[in-house]
Amino acid sequence: MSRFLQLHYLTIYPLSNPNRDDLGRPKTATYGGAPRLRISSQALKRAARLSEVMQTDLKGHLGARTQRIGEVVRDALARDGVTEERASEIATSVTDVFGKLDAEAAKKGAIRTRQLAFISPDERSTAIGLARNAAAGEKLPGDKDLKKLVLRTADGAADVAMFGRMLADDPDFNREAAVQVSHALTTHRALVEDDYYTAVDDLKRPAEDAGAGFVGEAGFGSGVFYTYACVDTELLAENLDGDRELAALAAGAFVEALATATPSGKRNSYAHQTRAGYIRAEAGDGQPRSLAGAFFRPVEGDDLMAASVEALEDLAARLDLAYGACCEATEVMDVIHGRGTLAAIRAFAADAVTDG
């Protein structure tokens, strides 16, 4: 078992806009004095969490980030035949466990919290169970006792364990994220380009003007993106109530999800169904370090992917020479040079969490 599992990805995104800013254009950043395209860590984590591999492999061990837990509880009681008024009353009391109620939503008959709460399957089922007991005549405990009965500091919610959560009103039940994920950044200079497009009215008659029914502009970009992630394997197991087997399964699914899942922005327009072309996985007890510095000076050349791989591996070697080895074991998948497989990377990740 290794304390840290570090992951480095190089992924080619074709013409696309997977993660938009407030103007609907691809997110950007300046790094090393050069313009880059960027994909936020939040977008990457959501894509991973909702990916087929995590949804399948971790079924029954995934939470829900929602403001609507009160409506889930109310609907469960309604299916049991509880009157609407009584179901709403009980659901409102139970919902307060997860955060302050949204007064504006309540005016419209909704039972929602002001903020999104990351709720584990165990917390959800416990909340519904207590609500059903109340509907059967049992008295709900007071606020503090109710929170102690419902909220967990550790359980089997793999995504909550990995990505953490904050409950502003109940910090004792916060969970520190066991996984850190960087923003993805192009390894080279990259600019947003503009697409001028039109839409034609199919029912426009020939006698009318020949203009389009709609005219618009959309931004897009492309490039080789570097993403870094670090898994604290001890904290991951702790957040999963000591279940190291589940922690290993979660780490493996996460590794695969980051390699295969992409944010969904404008996917129907650009079909950016891409895969990582390079993955470097490292396991060890040494202080983690990103290799983003390999791209502080933008890579150049006719083959930006090959140049990115070379720059990343060169910096890793130089850092190890200067500081000593960062990790005890490394596994690489390099599509260009035909090295390694995703299956091997995933097995390596699982072994890093267990004793191998």
Instruction: Give the mean pLDDT of 141-167.
Output: 94
Tell me: the pLDDT tens digits for 70-125?
999 999 999 999 999 999 999 999 999 999 999 999 999 999 999 999 999 999 99
Which whole-number Å values give the CA distances from 11 to 39, 40, 137, 195, in the listed order? 12, 14, 57, 23
Question: Residue 259: exposed, middle, or buried by beta-carbon count in 10 A (0-12, 13-18, 19+)?
Answer: buried
Alpha-carbon span 316 to 300, nearest angstrom: 19
Tell me: the pLDDT tens digits for 205-245?
777 776 777 777 889 999 999 999 999 999 999 999 999 99
Q: Please provide the average confidence, as pLDDT, over all residues in the chain.
A: 94
Percent with pLDDT over 90 in the chain: 90
Going by pLDDT thresholds of 50, 70 and 90, the confidence category of residue 283 is: very high
Asked whether 34 and 189 are in contact (CB, 8 A), the reply is yes
Q: Please report, to the nearest 10 degrees, the dihedral formed by the alpha carbons of residues 58, 59, 61, 66 taken in order.
A: 110
Residue tagged 């008959």 (tokens)? 109
CA 125, 130, 134, 137 torsion: positive or negative? positive
User: Helical H runs in the chain?
Assistant: 41-49, 52-57, 69-79, 84-95, 103-107, 121-135, 143-150, 158-163, 233-239, 244-260, 267-270, 304-323, 342-353
Task: Give the pair of three-digit tokens for residue 291.
Answer: 């290799």
Instruction: Give the mean pLDDT of 3-30.
Output: 96
Going by pLDDT thresholds of 50, 70 and 90, the confidence category of residue 143 is: confident
Tell me how crowded residue 153 is: count the other CB atoms within 10 A of its CB: 11
Alpha-carbon span 68 to 78, nearest angstrom: 15
Per-residue confidence (pLDDT) for residue 330, from 0 to 100: 97
Alpha-carbon span 351 to 91, nearest angstrom: 43
Going by pLDDT thresholds of 50, 70 and 90, the confidence category of residue 46 is: very high
Residue tagged 């009318």 (tokens)? 208
3-state helix, strand, coil in the chain (%, to 5): 40, 25, 35
Asked whether 230 and 2 are in contact (CB, 8 A), the reply is no
Angle, CA of 275, 270 and 222, to the nearest 5°? 65
Instruction: Give the mean pLDDT of 300-327.
Output: 97
Per-residue confidence (pLDDT) for residue 356, from 0 to 100: 52
Per-residue confidence (pLDDT) for residue 222, from 0 to 100: 97
pLDDT at 293 over 90: yes
Closest to 145 (Cα-Cα) out of 96, 111, 75: 96
Q: Phi then psi for 188, rounded to 5 degrees?
A: -140, 170
Q: Any idea which of 56-60, 195-199, 254-258 has the lowest mean pLDDT?
A: 195-199
Per-residue confidence (pLDDT) for residue 213, from 0 to 100: 75
Question: Residue 6: exposed, middle, or buried by beta-carbon count in 10 A (0-12, 13-18, 19+)?
Answer: buried
Per-residue confidence (pLDDT) for residue 304, from 0 to 100: 98
